[in-house]
Structure 1
Amino acid sequence: MSKFSQENVLSVHHWTDNLFSFTTTRNPSFCFRSGEFTMIGRKVDEKPLLRAYSLASAHYENRLEFFSIKRPDGPLTSRLQHLKEGDEIIVSRKATGTLVIDNLEDGRNLYLIGTGTGLAPFLSVIKDPETYLRFENVVLLHGCRRVAELAYGEMITDKLPRDELVGDFARYQLIYYPTVTRDRFYNRGRATDLIVSGKLFADIELPELEPQHDRVMICGSPGLVRDARELLVAKGFVEGNQGKPAQFVFEKELAERNRFVFGEGGAHEP
């Protein structure tokens, strides 16, 4: 059996001049856990050009969804940004990654901290009923430069609470906290600054982070990951991984596979 399947693009949505998302068909044999990523791509000169992309769709959905930046000189994104309905795309039959709740110990509050397209794996996590069964509160903090880059806001605040499977969970347990750094907005500031200052916790009316009850997932720019890790370790949090759950995790394998260069607003190919 081939390691890859050929899927067809079902829809494409352009959020801004720099961000877009698309959905594809899903091979019935493809399985993944919420928060994982897979390799996708297109053929270039009859050879597959592949990059790692987080799965933004739920593990039970019959389609796959991906959230991406646009970069004119990106080897793959320069091609993906021109996708249209019916186009073919290559999708690996295997998914992996560290941003899964299995890598976290049980706790009271789950914080999902992402910047730009780092939101993608958390879209999968917040659609999973298991997330809400494991944690009392799920806080999704999405940081961007501009208000227009806060993609999926309507889905999170309007559609998800009305979802037949997770709507009741989302209405009572999900706390969405979008924030920007360059536009006027009701939430402003970098994710780590909002945590250090305590403003995040004052706004959402939860106690400040502590390792006994809180668990954290991080996905975004190297600056965010570095600063968030330092902050958490200083507070006594322990990093978890495959086979050894702990109090926080971050996605490192995806970045290493792609050798991405991250900017504040998302992930960019070199």
Structure 2
Amino acid sequence: MTPDGNSVEAPVLPKTVTAETVVDVRHWTDELFSFRLTRPASFRFRSGEFVMLGLMGEGKPLLRAYSIASPSWDDGLDFFSIKVPDGPLTSRLQHIKEGDTILLGKKPTGTLVLDALKPGKRLYMLSTGTGIAPFASLIREPDAYEKFDQIILTHTCRHVVDLGYGRQLVDSVEQDPLVGELVGGKLTYYATTTREDFPTKGRITDLIENGRIFADLGIAPLNPEEDRVMICGSMAMLQDTKSIVEDLGFEEGSNAKPGDFVVEKAFVD
């Protein structure tokens, strides 16, 4: 109702989105937060995909691409986001609370899916910042452990506190009722920082090129014959890491033609 007693019509949603309810919000740092939404019964996706997400703004939806951080079998939908003070969407989204409504696109998509990779022995999931979100989905996907002997999840952030989301995520996987028994030592978590002292410090690209990551983990360097790579992070990280693996002979894959590595190019504002 308006102040003069007249009724206000609810905005009409486009057919491409549904209105979902926020069921949980957690603020990890002053710059990072995660939240969980209800999942429509008809919503289907492959672990690792992203979807359009947003809020109504001035009579029309304001939507951005967000990787789904929950696995395909989960009955809810999880997301992990940065807080951008002047971001068109995140400046508002960071203030959501339980019970609020979020717009959810109906058509998830993306290249960070197991189907886009050829069979291999070892799977690297290379992430920076909130780029860990699609891997939060994939490390809880049973197929990942059936297709690969070892999964190495790397997460690089500026500060130690920024690693909290990923660290708790990995700690919880072995206790997961669906994939806990499948993990069986197959999952390795490799965290690094770039601006604060930490046992492992440096950009993941530098640690790959100087061999530090392989020495730390006691494994052979990247090899397209048996290794597969998924990459998600900042634009600079994507470009640099893609160049490294291509120089090593890795071929980029897609949904239409599986390859040795895949890159996610969708970003939040």
State the TM-score, normalizing by the size of structure 1.
0.92
Does residue 225 of the first structure (1) align with residue 238 of the second (2)? yes
Q: Report the equivalent of 1:251.
A: 264
Does residue 5 of the first structure (1) align with residue 18 of the second (2)? yes
- Residues 34 and 125, structure 1, Cα contact 8 Å, conserved in 2: yes
Residue 50 (structure 2) aligned to one of 24, 37, 52 = 37
- Residues 38 and 94, structure 1, Cα contact 8 Å, conserved in 2: yes
Q: Report the equivalent of 1:82.
A: 95
Q: Report the equivalent of 1:53.
A: 66
Shift of 1:201: 0.9
Residue 18 (structure 1) aligned to one of 21, 25, 31 = 31
Shift of 1:158: 2.3
Please show how residues 17-166 of structure 1 align to structure 2 within 5 Å. Answer: 17-166=30-179
Structure 1: which amino acid aligns with 2:112? Answer: L
**Long gaps (5+) in structure 1:** 256-266
Structure 2: which amino acid aligns with 1:152? Answer: Y
In 2: Cα distance, 1:205 partner to 1:170 partner: 19
Query: CA offsets per residue over residues 235-264 of structure 1, 9 Å max, x none?
Result: 111111121001000012x14xxxxxxxxx
- Residues 12 and 22, structure 1, Cα contact 8 Å, conserved in 2: yes
Query: CA offsets per residue over residues 107-166 of structure 1, 9 Å max, x none?
Result: 000000010000000100100000010100000000000001113234334211111111
Shift of 1:193: 0.7
- Residues 132 and 166, structure 2, Cα contact 8 Å, conserved in 1: no
Shift of 1:197: 1.0
Structure 1: which amino acid aligns with 2:189? Answer: Y
Q: Report the equivalent of 1:178.
A: 191
- Residues 156 and 176, structure 1, Cα contact 8 Å, conserved in 2: no
Q: Report the equivalent of 1:214.
A: 227
**Secondary structure of the residue that 2:40 maps to in structure 1?**
coil
Of structures 1 and 2, the larger Rg is shown by: 2
Query: CA offsets per residue over residues 211-251 of structure 1, 9 Å max, x none?
Result: 00000000011111111111111111111112100100001
- Residues 155 and 166, structure 2, Cα contact 8 Å, conserved in 1: no
Shift of 1:47: 1.3
Provide closer, same or farther for how the CA distance between residues 55 and 129 of structure 1 changes in structure 2, counting only shifts above 3 A: same
In 2: Cα distance, 1:102 partner to 1:230 partner: 22
- Residues 238 and 246, structure 1, Cα contact 8 Å, conserved in 2: yes
How many correspondences in the alignment? 256
Q: Report the equivalent of 1:198.
A: 211
The alignment-based identity, stated in percent, is: 50
In 1: Cα distance, 2:164 partner to 2:71 partner: 17
**Secondary structure of the residue that 1:162 maps to in structure 2?**
coil
In 1: Cα distance, 2:92 partner to 2:137 partner: 25
Q: Which moved more, 1:155-164 or 1:241-250?
A: 155-164
**Long gaps (5+) in structure 2:** 1-13
Q: Report the equivalent of 1:259.
A: none
**Secondary structure of the residue that 1:188 maps to in structure 2?**
coil
Shift of 1:93: 1.2
Structure 1: which amino acid aligns with 2:49? Answer: E
**Secondary structure of the residue that 2:97 maps to in structure 1?**
coil
In 2: Cα distance, 1:33 partner to 1:17 partner: 31
